[in-house]
Amino acid sequence: MLIVTGATGQLGRLVVSHLLAHVPASRIGVSVRDSTKATDLAELGVRVRKADYGDPDSLIAAFEGAERILMVSSNAAATGGDTLEQHRTAIDAARK
């Protein structure tokens, strides 16, 4: 399964749209903070999992079955968060 994080953002949406043109929706999973914004993807057959870069357990669950993960960069710095720490958390979750 191919997993895309941040799939409801601008870049993530474009990536998922491109993937859908090349691979079956059943081979695509997305990790999003607000799953209600990804109902259209779920209706297409994309696996939608709610996860947050600040919640390692949610990331581990979202990444389950992944062959590859495209991690769209966090925008935590825009709100005073630690982008690098969030990325480390996501990478650690992907390793597990």
Percent of the chain with pLDDT over 70: 100
90: enclosing H helix or E strand: helix 83-95
Determine whether 63 is exposed, middle or buried from the number of CB atoms within 10 Å of its CB (0-12, 13-18, 19+).
buried
Could you tell me which residues come within 8 angstroms of residue 21 by beta carbon, excluding any fewer than 6 positions away? none
Q: C-alpha angle with apex 31: 62 to 46, nearest 5 degrees?
A: 95
Reply yes or no on whether the pLDDT at 79 is more than 90.
no
Convert the pLDDT of each residue in 23-63 to its tens digit. Answer: 999 999 999 999 999 999 999 999 999 999 999 999 999 99
Could you tell me which residues come within 8 angstroms of residue 17 by beta carbon, excluding any fewer than 6 positions away? none
**Amino acid 75: pLDDT:** 82
> CA distances (Å), 19 to each of 4, 16, 22, 60, in order?
10, 5, 5, 22
For the entire predicted model, the pTM comes to 0.91
Residues 72 and 18: their CA atoms lie apart, in Å, by 15
Q: Which of 16-25, 53-62, 71-80 has the lowest mean pLDDT?
A: 71-80
